[in-house]
Structures are given as structure tokens and as C-alpha cells.
């Protein structure tokens, strides 16, 4: 995953594998996890992704409620079942405060009759407050208060100061758009154009739930779209947001008042509930705030009021009646992602609960599904990967000794967090109880808002986790110089740990997760942060230039891949993830060569240990995606699509060429001069 920023709002959600010594065919108690997915009609030297995963893809169409289907979904299905059981047991027999809150949230979310009967009522007080606004001062004050729920206008959050990682700072980022990215407002390809043209009608449909008649809603939607387009024009592109130095502007609040003077930012901050430690702020994109200020003055008050209504109902839709939630899904799920129908209510409630109080669920989850022995196993694997990178850095021919020493020091200081936190968050003050679903969601949002605000002026808690234990994901945090590997990511669907050979594990967990996250500390963004987590140059100018030259080879490589229709991968936007993928593969391979399985060379299910390593990595990206969602991801995602996360980096790995006898003329072949050589 990319770097994770925790904002003012609810917690984030999230992924991976397992580890053991090699086994022989006779020891397997169920079909081999790798060979069962192979499409033997495909030459691995031509398209390794289709070879390793194509058999499974052919047998497993994408279910109608999903836009993609693959390994992550299979793991998530197991997690869904486990979490549903935890919730149902909590309802049957709540034993403590945590289980009582879990039970109350689950019951309120599953009470569809009460939710449907309430309709728009949970938002009535907020809608009346918007109607009562008579001037821009009142508008901005109300927008600041509602921003906590809706994210209207902009994106404030509390996070570590990139240049002083010991300090939690108030930061302002661009935001306020109803479409996922600024390019949706301007790109002219057929898919994006179709979504953009349908967007005003969707806004109008949602506004009618607030009480507007159809003609008024249509006119309001047209004006809202024009307003958002104004904001989008001054929003930075996805690739531009990946430059940490260019998106760091520390200033006193009075300076923001100078460049965006139609908004009283001191009052805006107070309306967020911040009364101290906010005289100085970090603004990511100053030009966006200038545009926002100008729009406050240039756009009619009525347009802004309708915009706040739209943002409010859009951000709340999935917690409201089926009619409203379905309307939201028709645009954001069906049109934008290609989903044919919504997930069942129980899965949607689990997803909302995860964001609201996922770590509370995690306390119960790890008791049953991830013990201390498993935690130790993956901590050891992290050290194997760290040792492999140490050797690689020491042997680099393009980097000077002075930069090498600093790189090695940073590597030694990377903190590993595996499985679950040593200290859990205290949710006792979160007012989840026997009340409506909307009220419980609001209570969780309020708790998270105050939780984040309370960080201002206090020491950074470097022990905190920004993902829950049951999450199928992982992350590197540059400000803490840490990798975080939740228990959920070590899940192989349908398999026990003892069924997994090292080749699979070193590819699946060691390369695509652990090695990937460690490499993020040395990708084009992560390398700009020092061992203490500060945005600070520790490279010589010559070494930096050499790194950028090598990274440019990767940018060009991925720019050349066509994903769907005429849409290419954005090589600059995906550079960090592509570097991390390649680094992870190389580190996993180096570490795997030291194992007994690799040294003995005995085949399993007809495949050598080396072959199984590359197949194991590919298992981590086993999936296929609908064209609609592929097109969306090209615009909004800093990760390349799954197929290219396998074929792209493998084409740069010499050991892959040797293992599968890749020759010139094969689809996976790249001339040596064009292979990426960084770490």
C-alpha cells in the first residue's frame, strides 16, 4: 500500500500470507494452492500473470455485486464470515463494554425496517441548518462544522509534520469534489465523458431526497457541477500529489488568510473544535485554497447551500434508507465500477463497522485467529527481508559510500509492527448504544474527530496502528519509518499455515507484502524521508540524479502498458508502487535462496522451488477486474492493475528469465538495457 495519512474522521480499513518449511506432495492435505490456478495453455515466458492465474480466472467469474474478484476477495470472504460470527455472538451474549458496543452497532445496522422508515430524517436537522444560512460568513461556519461529516469544501486533518516527525500538526489538503479525481472533470475519453455527463443527473436525483422538486434539483445540480469544476481546475493531478516537498507549505494561519481571504480560517478552525496549537498550519496545495476563496465570492450563496446539501447526503447515503443507498450505488457502484448489484446488507454493515470501531473488533478477532506463535513467525520473516536489502545496498555500484551508510542506518531503524497492536485504543467514550443506525454512525464519527483533535500539542504516539488487525492490507509510514502488517494479510484462503511451503510464502508474504513495504522506505517518495521520519535530504546530488535516471526507466516502461481501451498506466503516478513491487520481488528472492527448500530443489506438484516462488508472488495478485473499474483505477489509483504488478516487474528480474528460460521474442522479454535496476 501507499503511505497512509490519518485525517479528521473515521478510521481506515484494510491485507496478506503464511510461513513454514517445505513439504512434499504426500504431505499436502488439499489441492496445491499454486498449481490449481495455472492455465497450462499459456506460455509463462509470454504472459506470466495469465499463466499463473488464468485457470482460476476462467473458472471464477466476477460476482454481480463486485467490480473485481480475486485473492483479496477470497480472503475478505473468510474475514466477513469470521467477523459476522463475532457480531452475532456479541448480540447473543455481550460480556463486556466492547461486545456490547459491537452488538448495538450490528443490531442497528441490520434493522432495515427502522432504517427505511426513517428515510431522510437523520439529516433533517443538518438540512434545516443549511436552509437557515443567509450570508457567506454563516455558510463558511456551517461548512466547517459539517466538514467533519461530509468533507465539504476541503480536507483538513491532523498528522505528523513531514519535516518534524515528533510533532502532530493541523494540515489542509485539496478536496471537496464529488467525483473521485480532478481528471474526471476534464478527460475526454469515452468512459470518463459518460460518467461526467451522468454526474449532474445523479446529483439532482439525490437532492430530490432532501425535498427539492425535480426542476429545482436539476438546476441546482447544474450549478453544483460548475462549482466543483472550478475547484477541480485548481486541484493537482494524481502524480503531482506524490511529491512530498512540493505539497508541503507551512505557514501561519494569517498567511492562509492572505492567499484565501474570503474565508476566515481562524474561525473555520475553531468550528472544527480546535482551540489550541493551530496558529501554524501545513497547506498542501495553496492554489486550491485561493480558488476556493474566490469561489466563495463568485458563486451564488444558493449554489453553495445546495452544494452543502449534496455533499451531506452523498457522504451519508450508505447509512440511510435502501432507496437512498441504492441511488448512491447506481452511480458510484454500477456506472463507475461496473458492479451489477449491491453487496448484501450484512457485508455493508461490517464495512461500516470496520471504519467505526474496527480495532474493537480486532481485539476479539486476534484471540481466535492469530496467536503469538504466528506473530513471531512473521516477525522473523521481516528480518530475513531486511537482511536481504542490507546486502543489496552494500553491493550497489551506482551509490556513493556516504549515501549508502545513511541508507543502511535508515534500514536498521525501520520499525516492524506485525499482527496486532501491543496496546489497543480505548473506545469506552464512543457512544455506540441501542439507538438508530444513523445515530451510531454519527457517534463514531464524532469520537474519531475528537480522537484526532486530541493529538494536537501532544507527543506523537509511534505505537499507534492506522489499520485494524483483520485488515487485508499493509502499509509503510514514512513519518514513523515503520512497516505495519496486520494479521489479516497473512491469510491464504482455505489453507492452514502448515500447508504452505517456503517458496509460496517467500513470494506471497515475503515479496509482495513485507519486501514491498520495506522498499517503500526507499522509493521515489520514501527515500526523501530520513531514519527519524523527517522530510530531509540525505542523498548526495549525484546519487539523487542517478536514482532519478533509473526511476525514469521504470516510468517509461509502465507508461507503455495499455490497461483498457486507449488508457495507459500513469508511470509517474504509479512509480512508488512499481518500485516497491520490483524491490519486494528481488528481496524475497534473495531471502528465499537461503532456505532449505531452495537449496534442496525438490519439486512440489511438478514445480521447482524457483518456479513456485514466482508463482507465489503472482498468487498475491490473483484477480480480474471489470473494464469500468479498470478505467476508474487508471485515474485515481497509484497502484498499477494486478496483471501489470506481475508482468511489469518480472520483466526486470534476471532470475525470472533464468527460471522460465525467457528469450528475445517472448512477451515477457525486455532487452537488458531497458530493465530497471534500482535496489
pLDDT at 2: 31
The predicted structure's pLDDT at residue 6 = 29
Residue 24 burial class via C-beta count within 10 angstroms: exposed 0-12, middle 13-18, buried 19 and up: exposed
What does the pLDDT read at residue 29? 53
Locate 528 and state its grid cell.
Answer: 526523501
The per-residue pLDDT for 7 is 31
Arithmetic mean of pLDDT, 288-300: 97
Tell me the mean pLDDT in the region 449-460. Answer: 93
Domain extent listing, the chain: 39-62+370-425+464-674, 152-300+309-317
Q: What angle do CA 137, 130, 434 make, to 5 degrees?
A: 125
SS3 101: helix
Question: Does pLDDT of 469 surpass 60?
Answer: yes
As given in the structure block, the three cell numbers for residue 276 are: 489550541
- Mean pLDDT for the stretch of residues 13-26: 32
Q: What is the pLDDT of residue 629?
A: 96
Q: Where does the pLDDT of residue 492 fall: very low under 50, low under 70, confident under 90, or very high at 90 and above?
A: confident
What fold, for 152-300+309-317? Answer: Neutral endopeptidase; domain 2 (1.10.1380)
Mean pLDDT calculated for residue range 618-632? 97
Q: In the CATH scheme, what is the code of domain 39-62+370-425+464-674?
A: 3.40.390.10
The predicted structure's pLDDT at residue 392: 98
> Among candidates 478, 615, 464, 467, which has minimal Cα distance to 538?
478
- Return the pLDDT at 431: 97
* Local structure of 415: helix, strand or coil: strand
Cα within 13 Å of Cα(363), Cβ side: 15
Which residues are 69's β-sheet partners?
624
Q: Does position 338 have pLDDT exceeding 90, yes or no?
A: yes
114: Cβ contacts below 8 Å, ≥ 6 apart:
108, 436, 437
Q: What is the pLDDT of residues 364-381, one digit of tens each?
A: 888 877 777 778 888 999
Res. 126: pLDDT tops 50 = yes
The span from the CA of 98 to the CA of 357, in Å, is 9
Q: Compute the mean pLDDT over every residue in the chain, rounded to the nearest whole number.
A: 93
CB within 8 Å of 134: residues ≥ 6 apart: none
pLDDT in tens, 511-523: 999 999 999 999 9
What pLDDT, on the 0 to 100 scale, is given for residue 527?
98
Greatest pairwise CA separation for the chain in angstroms = 78
C-alpha span between 481 and 544 (Å, rounded): 20
Residue 369: what pLDDT?
A: 77
- The more confidently predicted of residues 557 and 487 is 557
Grade residue 24 by pLDDT with cuts at 50, 70 and 90.
very low
Q: Where are the alpha helices (DSSP H) in 179-331?
A: 190-208, 214-233, 253-259, 265-271, 286-298, 301-316, 322-329
* DSSP string over 251-277: EEHHHHHHHSTTS-HHHHHHHTT--SS
The reported pLDDT for the residue numbered 370 is: 79
Cα–Cα distances (Å) from 649 to 43, 191, 227, 597, 657, in that order, read 17, 28, 41, 24, 12
The string of pLDDT tens digits covering residues 604-615 is 999 999 999 999
Torsion (CA) 457, 458, 463, 464 in degrees, nearest 10: -50
Q: For the segment 57-81, what is each residue's pLDDT rounded down to a tens digit?
A: 999 999 999 999 999 999 999 889 9
* Rounded Cα distance, 606 and 593, in Å: 19
Distance set, CA 255 to CA 153, 258, 457, 668 (Å): 19, 5, 21, 53
CA pair distance 313, 249, nearest whole angstrom? 32
Q: Does residue 40 register a pLDDT over 60?
A: yes
Percent of the chain with pLDDT over 70: 96
Cα–Cα distance, 620 to 660 (Å, whole number): 19
Give DSSP secondary structure letters for 104-163.
Answer: HHHHHHH-HHHHHHHTTGGGHHHHHHHHT--SHHHHHHHHHHHHHHH--S-EEEEEEETT
What does the pLDDT read at residue 457? 87
Average of pLDDT values for 233-259?
A: 97
Amino acid at each position: 500500500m501507499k503511505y497512509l495519512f490519518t485525517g479528521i474522521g473515521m478510521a481506515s480499513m484494510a491485507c496478506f500470507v503464511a510461513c513454514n518449511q517445505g513439504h512434499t506432495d504426500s504431505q499436502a492435505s488439499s489441492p496445491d494452492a499454486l498449481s490449481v490456478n495455472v492455465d497450462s495453455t499459456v506460455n509463462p515466458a509470454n504472459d506470466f500473470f495469465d499463466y499463473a492465474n488464468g485457470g482460476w480466472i476462467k473458472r471464477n467469474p466476477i460476482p454481480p455485486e463486485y467490480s473485481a474478484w480475486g485473492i483479496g476477495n477470497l480472503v475478505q470472504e473468510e474475514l466477513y464470515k469470521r467477523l459476522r460470527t463475532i457480531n452475532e455472538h456479541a448480540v447473543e451474549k455481550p460480556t463486556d463494554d466492547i461486545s456490547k458496543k459491537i452488538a448495538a452497532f450490528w443490531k442497528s445496522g441490520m434493522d432495515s425496517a427502522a432504517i427505511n422508515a426513517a428515510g431522510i430524517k437523520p439529516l433533517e436537522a443538518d438540512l434545516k441548518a443549511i436552509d437557515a444560512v443567509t450570508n457567506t460568513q454563516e455558510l463558511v461556519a456551517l461548512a466547517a462544522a459539517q466538514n467533519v461529516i461530509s468533507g465539504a469544501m476541503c480536507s483538513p486533518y491532523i498528522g505528523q509534520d513531514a519535516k518534524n516527525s515528533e510533532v502532530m500538526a493541523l494540515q489542509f489538503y485539496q478536496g471537496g469534489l464529488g467525483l473521485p479525481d480532478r481528471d474526471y472533470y476534464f478527460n475526454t475519453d469515452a468512459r470518463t465523458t459518460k460518467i461526467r455527463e451522468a454526474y449532474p443527473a445523479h446529483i439532482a436525483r439525490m437532492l430530490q431526497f432532501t425535498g427539492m422538486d425535480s426542476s429545482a434539483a436539476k438546476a441546482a445540480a447544474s450549478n453544483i457541477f460548475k462549482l466543483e469544476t472550478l475547484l477541480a481546475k485548481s486541484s493537482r493531478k494524481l502524480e503531482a500529489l506524490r511529491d512530498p516537498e512540493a505539497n508541503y507549505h507551512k505557514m501561519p494561519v494569517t498567511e492562509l488568510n492572505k492567499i484565501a481571504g474570503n474565508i476566515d480560517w481562524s474561525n473555520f478552525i475553531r468550528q472544527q473544535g480546535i482551540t489550541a496549537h493551530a496558529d501554524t498550519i501545513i497547506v498542501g496545495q495553496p492554489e486550491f485554497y485561493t480558488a476556493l476563496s474566490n469561489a466563495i465570492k463568485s458563486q451564488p450563496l444558493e449554489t453553495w447551500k445546495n452544494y452543502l446539501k449534496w455533499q451531506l447526503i452523498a457522504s451519508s447515503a450508505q447509512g440511510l434508507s435502501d432507496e437512498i443507498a441504492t441511488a448512491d450505488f447506481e452511480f458510484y457502484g454500477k456506472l463507475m465500477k461496473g458492479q451489477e448489484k449491491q453487496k448484501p446488507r450484512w457485508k455493508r454493515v461490517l464495512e461500516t463497522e470496520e471504519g467505526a470501531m474496527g480495532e474493537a473488533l480486532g481485539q476479539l478477532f486476534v484471540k481466535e485467529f492469530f496467536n503469538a506463535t504466528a506473530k513471531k513467525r512473521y516477525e522473523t520473516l521481516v528480518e530475513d527481508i531486511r537482511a536481504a536489502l542490507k546486502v543489496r545496498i552494500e553491493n550497489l555500484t551506482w551509490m556513493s559510500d556516504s549515501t549508502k551508510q545513511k541508507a543502511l542506518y535508515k534500514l536498521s531503524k525501520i520499525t516492524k509492527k506485525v499482527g496486532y497492536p501491543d496496546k489497543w485504543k480505548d473506545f469506552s467514550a464512543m457512544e455506540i448504544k441501542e439507538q438508530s443506525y444513523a445515530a451510531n454512525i454519527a457517534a463514531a464519527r464524532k469520537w474519531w474527530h475528537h480522537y484526532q483533535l486530541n493529538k494536537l500539542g501532544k507527543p506523537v504516539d509511534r505505537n499507534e496502528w492506522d489499520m485494524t488487525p483483520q485488515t487485508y492490507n499493509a502499509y509503510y509510514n514514512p513519518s514513523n519509518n515503520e512497516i505495519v502488517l496486520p494479521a489479516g494479510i497473512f491469510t491464504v484462503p482455505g489453507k492452514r499455515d502448515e500447508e504452505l511451503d517456503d517458496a509460496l510464502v517467500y513470494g506471497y508474504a515475503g515479496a509482495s507484502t513485507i519486501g514491498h513495504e520495506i522498499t517503500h522506505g526507499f522509493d521515489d517518495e520514501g527515500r526523501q524521508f530520513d531514519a527519524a521520519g523527517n522530510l530531509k535530504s540525505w542523498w548526495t546530488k549525484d546519487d539523487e540524479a542517478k536514482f532519478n535516471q533509473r526511476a525514469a526507466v521504470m516510468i517509461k516502461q509502465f507508461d507503455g502498458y495499455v490497461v483498457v481501451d486507449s488508457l495507459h498506466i500513469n508511470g509517474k503516478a504509479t512509480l512508488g508502487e512499481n518500485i516497491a513491487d520490483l524491490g519486494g520481488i528481488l528481496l524475497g528472492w534473495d531471502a528465499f535462496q537461503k532456505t532449505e527448500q531452495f537449496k534442496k530443489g525438490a519439486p512440489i506438484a511438478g514445480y521447482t522451488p524457483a518456479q513456485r516462488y514466482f508463482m507465489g508472488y503472482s498468487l498475491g495478485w490473483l484477480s480480474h477486474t471489470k473494464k469500468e473499474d479498470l478505467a476508474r483505477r487508471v485515474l485515481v489509483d497509484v497502484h498499477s492493475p494486478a496483471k501489470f504488478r506481475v508482468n511489469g516487474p518480472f520483466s526486470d528480474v534476471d532470475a525470472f528469465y533464468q527460471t522460465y528460460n525467457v528469450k528475445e521474442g517472448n512477451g515477457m522479454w525486455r532487452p537488458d538495457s531497458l530493465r530497471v535496476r534500482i535496489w
